[in-house]
Structure 1
Amino acid sequence: MGRSRTVRRSRPAGDFADPGAAFPGFPHGRHVHDLPSVEPCGRRGRKVSVAPRHAGGDPLASTAPVLQAYDRLVRRRVAITISIAFLAVGMLFADMTTGPAGLSIVDVWKALTHAPGQDSTSVIVWQVRLPTALMALLVGTALSLAGAEMQTILDNPLASPFTLGVSAAASLGAALVIVLGIGLPFLPPGVLLTANAFVFAFGSVLLLQFMTGRSGGGPAMLVLFGIALVFTFQALLALVQFVASADALQQLVFWGMGSLARANWSTVSLLAAAVASVLPFSLAASWRLTALRLGEERARSYGIDVGRFRFVALLRISLLAATAVAFTGTIGFVGLVGPHIARLLIGEDHRFLLPASALTGAVMMSAASVASKSLVPGLLLPVGIVTSLVGLPVFFALLTRQSRRS
């Protein structure tokens, strides 16, 4: 005996919005979720209950848990950012108390709370320790903030401010001054090295933008042109080193290691002005950076001109990186590792990621400055060596993590 087959007639979507149009006797204007609880008999005598869903309730009631979870997430991110800021202040004082003079935190605090005097403690704190400590904070802030933006606009987690040849160009500009005496005219000798390094670093990014704009390429083409510029500048730098004298070569090698020894109030003021002028624009672009993190097509659907936005972001990045490199030399891995640490703590919301990245870089540079003065007693190591030694294991860990995700 064959089984009877039930044929269901498909109904328009409107029938389910108003069941009275499909079922005679059902009052018009009522919905299925307005039905009272009933207990019809199912198969084998089991009862099935049908309960009303949010009948007459607040339609926003179901979104309350989501809003509460988001509020908790925002408070957590704010708390983490404030904690990193307090840690940066603590590292600032630790940097000022570290050194051959053996100053305590009380001595440093007394010197800071009084006007600069002629005693040895006041001179050490105001003329040596404080400019160096502030320079470490500012360099870390500039490089890590630039790295966070670079990784977003290039959609490359291994990008850093030096990916596009900023460091190599600055090294070439410094080498021309140290070895050949070629620099910008009408500048005093005291600022010629820094100015030449800055002009070459900033000019390399403008050249890169021009080449990428002519080719009409995207982030991948930008990275390829940047790698080509890196090899070009390194080849020219090797040529200058080949013809350099022994003294000039030693000075050039020491400059390339990265050091905070050239910090003074003039360089600190210039770098602070560069960071203060760029930071508000970076924070104002945070939501566009977050949208770009979702992909170029999604960002365009939000009304963002991706090409123009990437160009302006690269100008900010080049200004930060070029200024930092011009004053301290090449300091690697801070712009690469700092944003990743902040991203692990904060997430991808750039409203919090950018300030957290800047503060994380400041903490890293201050810690590297402390380590450079305390690893070898009586010897001040170049801070670029310390950041490379610390950053290499973290860099390999990031590579391993990226390969596992792939």
Structure 2
Amino acid sequence: MIKLSVCPGKQSGPDCSLRSTRSLIVLLGTALILSMVTAVCFGAVTISPLYSFQIILYKLSSLDPGQITTVLPATYFDIVWDLRLPRILLAAIAGAGLSVCGAVMQASVQNPLADPYILGVSAGASLGATFAILLGGTSLFGSFGIIACAFIGALAAAALVMSLSTLGGSSSTVKIVLSGTIANAFFLSLANFIIYFSNNTQGISNVTFWNMGSLAAASWQTLLMPAITVLLGSLYLLSQTRTLNTLMLGEETALTLGVNAPRVRYRYMLLTALLTAVIVSACGTFAFVGLIIPHIVRGFVGADHRRLIPGTVLGGAVFLIWADTLSRTILSNGELPIGIITSLIGAPFFMYILIKRTFS
């Protein structure tokens, strides 16, 4: 497996690790900025990077757009600032949140196949959001109805997985994956049941497209909650890198080092359920993002969560930005749901992991 190292010769230790982490952050941070600047140019209307930069600069500096309307069509301002930029930012937020959830889940349950989609957490959040949209669940929690219902559904799925995996004694990686498969099928069936018997034609259409993942509804108003939640969750998980490294050593070893693995695992499952619920309520479900990004980043930086967590946050953001750009441009007369793109990439990668683990 390839390891990324910026330390010359045989140097190692804390200073080497710190330089490696900083180099990783700079590299992926630069890739993220370039991706955002480039992605805002593509769509039904192609806008040059220079024009896009001018529009964003004028908007951020609160200058009168009329100063440059002699050069740029007025519609360019709406396309770049009101349509594409919020969408790109939401893609970065969702990609970062789902990727870090996958990395934490894989460490918590010591299973490289774990992620919010495989373990049924996304399906639980989808069920809750479907209930809120089609059966009036928003009336129970006001303006936070979809988020609250999605969180309850995600939490129920996480609880079901943990309960099933510990039946008959201690849990194992096989039992956790099987429990996640059961939870995923069960909650998706309940969501489809609600959709089938609903009389809300427009709601059914919205839920169907939303269940395949879509950033089309992104706006400046919908960015605040996901941004705050993912930012705070990622900062907290960055402070937990030592505990996550300890969990990878096994439950018994973690206990001897002073880490209560079951308690920590439930806390992390609760946090990942919250992050997944907020993301799903904002833009639907994206399969395999939390699975493939941690594996790709781990292949370059190793399993140390001091580098893996920031790497997955930035790498996930970059990945989903380009997946969304592809979904916006692959069809000449429409938009492809982004969940289809992530599944087409993630499913072969998932098979690769299974084959590699089988024959290794």
TM-score interval, smaller chain: 0.7 to 0.9
Number of aligned residue pairs = 339
Q: Do the aligned partners of residues 192 and 299 (structure 1) sit closer, same or farther apart at CA in structure 2, a change above 3 Å counting?
A: closer
How far, CA to CA, are the matches of 1:197 and 1:390 in structure 2?
A: 26
Spell out the pairing of 1:4-403 with structure 2 (5 A cutoff): 68-70=11-13, 71-72=15-16, 74-115=18-59, 117=65, 119-185=74-140, 187-188=142-143, 192-206=145-159, 217-220=170-173, 222-245=176-199, 247-403=202-358
How far, CA to CA, are the matches of 1:176 and 1:82 in structure 2?
A: 42
Q: Is the 8 A contact 2:128 2:153 kept in 1?
A: yes
How far, CA to CA, are the matches of 2:300 and 2:184 in structure 1?
A: 32
What SS does structure 1 have at the residue aligned with 2:222?
helix
TM-score by length of 1: 0.76
Q: Is the 8 A contact 2:113 2:177 kept in 1?
A: no
Deviations 1:64-113 (A, max 9, x none): x9972345465344323321121111111122111122211111111111
Give the Å deviation of 1:181. Answer: 3.3
Deviates more, 1:263-272 or 1:248-257: 248-257
Overall identity of the aligned pairs, in %: 33
Give the Å deviation of 1:229. Answer: 2.7
Q: Is the 8 A contact 1:94 1:370 kept in 2?
A: no
Q: For the pair shown, which has the larger CA radius of gyration, 1 or 2? A: 1
Instruction: Specify the alignment match of 1:9 in structure 2.
Output: none
How far, CA to CA, are the matches of 1:186 and 1:173 in structure 2?
A: 12
Give the Å deviation of 1:166. Answer: 1.6
Q: Is the 8 A contact 1:153 1:219 kept in 2?
A: no
Q: Is the 8 A contact 2:119 2:180 kept in 1?
A: yes
**Please, which runs of 5 or more residues in structure 2 have no aligned partner?**
1-7, 67-73
| 1:85 alignment partner AA | G
Q: Do the aligned partners of residues 139 and 186 (structure 1) sit closer, same or farther apart at CA in structure 2, a change above 3 Å counting?
A: closer
| 1:80 alignment partner AA | L
Give the Å deviation of 1:139. Answer: 0.3
| 2:242 alignment partner AA | W
Give the Å deviation of 1:224. Answer: 4.7
Give the Å deviation of 1:160. Answer: 0.6
Q: Is the 8 A contact 1:151 1:159 kept in 2?
A: yes
Give the Å deviation of 1:263. Answer: 1.0
How far, CA to CA, are the matches of 1:323 and 1:176 in structure 2?
A: 15
| 1:68 alignment partner AA | Q
What SS does structure 1 have at the residue aligned with 2:332?
coil
How far, CA to CA, are the matches of 1:211 and 1:398 in structure 2?
A: 24
What SS does structure 1 have at the residue aligned with 2:269?
helix
Give the Å deviation of 1:380. Answer: 1.6
Give the Å deviation of 1:162. Answer: 2.1
Deviates more, 1:289-298 or 1:200-209: 200-209
**Please, which runs of 5 or more residues in structure 1 have no aligned partner?**
1-64
What SS does structure 2 have at the residue aligned with 1:267?
coil
Structure 1's consecutive aligned runs of 4 or more residues displaced over 6 angstroms after TM superposition are 210-216
What SS does structure 2 have at the residue aligned with 1:185?
helix
What RMSD over aligned residues (CA atoms) do the two structures have, in Å?
Answer: 2.6
Instruction: Specify the alignment match of 2:70 in structure 1.
Output: none
What SS does structure 2 have at the residue aligned with 1:262?
coil
Q: Is the 8 A contact 2:160 2:183 kept in 1?
A: no
Q: Is the 8 A contact 1:137 1:366 kept in 2?
A: yes
How far, CA to CA, are the matches of 1:268 and 1:397 in structure 2?
A: 35
Deviates more, 1:76-85 or 1:362-371: 76-85
